[in-house]
Amino acid sequence: MRLVLGTSVIVSAFRSRTGASYALLRLLEERHLVGLATPTLLFEYEELLSRPKQRAIHPLRDSELDAMIRDLAALIESVRVDYL
């Protein structure tokens, strides 16, 4: 199955390892699902997770967050949006 993970799913997955959002990330990691995203959406994931409010909840250092975003990007198939 191919799916796009909204920013709320990514943020929720980083906030808790017990919810459905984290389970979706695990399914991506295990290659049971194929994630889809535009480069813009990947930048939005990073920007949201870098906000002070989010940083207070997930205490990842900059280098750890960068690595996790790179890992996530490696699991996601990049798509291009054509506007009519």
Environment class of residue 73 by beta-carbon count within 10 Å: exposed (0-12), middle (13-18) or buried (19+)? Answer: middle
Query: N- to C-terminal Cα distance for the chain?
Result: 26
Map tokens 């399914």 to a residue. 27
Other CB atoms within 10 A of residue 83 CB: 3
Rg (C-alpha) for the chain, rounded Å, is 13
Q: What is the pLDDT along the chain (84 residues), one digit of tens a residue?
A: 999 999 999 999 999 999 999 999 999 999 999 999 999 999 999 999 999 999 998 888 899 999 999 999 999 999 998 887
